[in-house]
Structure 1
Amino acid sequence: MNSVYGMTTAYADAAPARSHRGKLAQLGIDTQYVLLGFPLGLITLIIGLTGFALGLGLAVIWVGLPLMVGTLLFARGMAITERARISPVLGQRVPHPPYRKVHGEGAVRRTLAPLLDAQSWLDLLHATLRFIPNVIGFSFVVVWWSGAIAGLLYPFYDWALPHSPDNYGLHQVLGFQDTASVRIFFNLSIGIFFGGTLYWVVRAVALAEAYFAKGLLNGAHDLRMQVAAAEEARDVAQRQKAAAVSAEAVALRRLERDIHDGPQQRLVRLAMDLGRAEQQFTDDPERARAIVAEALTQTRETLDELRALSRGIAPPILVDRGLQAALTALAGRCTVPVDLDAPPMERLDPAVESTAYFVVAEALTNVAKHSHANEVQVSVQRIATGLIVTVSDDGVGGASLAKGHGLAGLDDRVQAAGGVLAVDSPVDGGTRLTAALPLPL
């Protein structure tokens, strides 16, 4: 306990020191970024404007085209340098957008390719406009550093300054007396103000310059990436919607087939039996009673079958008591012994619970019909991002998610819920089905 307390105390004492060191390091990064940006901005402004003007003016005699290309390549180099410089200021890597490349279309066309590249022109625009924020930022940084250094160190050099009665300092203009203590206190106060606000002012100026550069150099690329991400999200949503429609269609076809093969046939026979019973009530009452009794038995069997089919639509136990109880009921009805590992958990999103239930239900049905397995293991695990459902058996294997197989509809249902279904089923090696279902945020 003492060692843990000592480590905790040491960590608490060290945290502010690390925070101060981080601010000092960031202050150094921001300062050098702004100060170095001034000469770089001046160079890029001169070369960018001069090269563009000469290239545009001499383009009529074709001499200006290679000059314009050289100017664009220079602007591209400065843009690459600027992206590297703003990365530590923003605390994130700023990627380089793709530039237009021409392959196999002649040396002249490859040489003039930068003239057709929109990003190269954005780099040139940055080269000519960046000097505006550079001048503003440079002025603020120089003033704040000068005010902080001169004010905080004033007590050490006041004695070396000439204090002629003809010279009026700022403190005298404001109505203060011209004494050493007043001068020191006044200038020290100014130094404390500039020093206390130095980090925030330099940080704000550096961020303004960095975001200005990033907006010109990467704004179009970032917009294209956002559009691509939106289109990808739309495609995923469309695939999920298509999977949901497919899963619903498969479920409806299965339900229709089951009703046609089971309850519908029973109801047809029931109608025929009741018709025969009605005709025999007069001639053979005993026979009619036997037919009615048999019809009642068929009615109960038909109701039981309809209840079983209704579990594939909306199992009441899942809605009322949750996933664990519903899976326990499924395991109890399975003709193959089931080892269920489904710990109690809080109620999840209804769509997730329903999908997990149908994954297990369909898997157990396939095991009972096709696998010839002796045992099934069902596991449901809750993780930070979702639900992992695993069903494995020791049967003959050979299951597949390919279209036309029994699990294709189940795969569509899982995809519709935003999940992933995987099947490992070597021949004579059993089958392991795993579904990963995400939970909504």
Structure 2
Amino acid sequence: MATDFRPEQHDRYDTRDHSLPAALRAPLEGRTWREFGYLMLSLPISIIFFTFAIVTISLGAGLLVTFLGIPVLAAGLAGCRAFGALERTRARSLLRLDVDNPEPVRPRTNGLMSWVGAVLKSGTSWRHLLYAVVHFPWAVTAFSVALTFWVTGWSLLLYPLWQWTFPAYLDQPGISLYGDSTGTQFYLDTSFEIGVTAAAGLVVVMATAWLIRGLAYVDRLMIGGLLGPSSLATRVVELESDRGVVVDTAAADLRRIERDLHDGAQARLVALAMDLGLAKEKLNEDPEAAARMVDEAHGEVKTALQELRDLARGIHPAVLTDRGLDAALSAVASRCTVPVAVDVDLASRPAPAIEGIAYFTVSELLQNVSKHARARRATVDVWRSEDRLMLQVTDDGTGGADLSAGSGLAGLAERLDAVDGILALDSPSGGPTTVTAELPWRG
């Protein structure tokens, strides 16, 4: 599923513990060198990108008085999209930045003119053109600043290693720090001065590493904002995915209801009909046996009615509709195998659909407590935080719950995500386990 660009989520680096402080470690880290290489490559690539974009767009705009201008504009925008693909690939390899590919061009029909129209109507194409124009002056600036500080810092830091070249080849003792017309000269040639120069170079090198990261961060923002999918397209993809989850969930619920009816109440009613048929046949021959069979059938009817009530409660409990979450969750808690304290602090009721999702969320979490937690007690807290409905289920069990794919909690998280909800799990080994759910209020 496509997602919005968030630098703090997509920018992935090694987070292992290190003995050296970050300030000393940064100049030697692979991240710094990759980002420096990215900035150095940006200038020649951006020159080509900028030149192509300006030439083709200017040519297309100039030819708009003729029919040729439109396909030339489309070709220029298509070329910008191709350059954008190159930039995303370069960002993935050097910046470790994952940006989803934007939505492709989708012409309504086959044919050149349909493709031309789709390219020109695509906002993604024009954002790629904007990137080509805006990134060029930035690439010049970033290249100049990064290269200047990089060369200066390492040159000064390594000065003790190459200071000998001045007397050997330039007939001077070292770097000339000062000179005037009277012949007064000041060179960095003593051991103390060479050491101070190297120390100053170390400071510049360490500062340059963070400067490079700052410059690269601007590139991340530009790539994520202009070369990735638009927020509208991302939202459409999310809604399509959420719709699929809702449809799959509804289909699974229908299959569960059908299975429960077939294996439970329906099978019991079929057996009941057969028993009543036998009782009818024995009514005249053996009234006492028929009476016993009718009495047994009466018990079966009660059992079938209870199964139907349980099934109806699983679809949507009447107590939830009539009395709200407080009473409904108290009823669920009473069926849990461990004591559960329920605290519902709501001045009003959320939307019925959200209320139903909250009920079934807590119900499933308490089932997990009964089956897996090996807990002695649990708590359920429900409250409102601005426009969000908050649920929290805590137990003192053994912990170790996992949100990984394939678990019941993963399926519950998908259901919540389908309505813009969030499920958070805190379950260290040994417990306690706290599951927090957040749903939109929509009252």
For normalisation by structure 1, the TM-score amounts to 0.50
TM-score (norm 2): 0.50
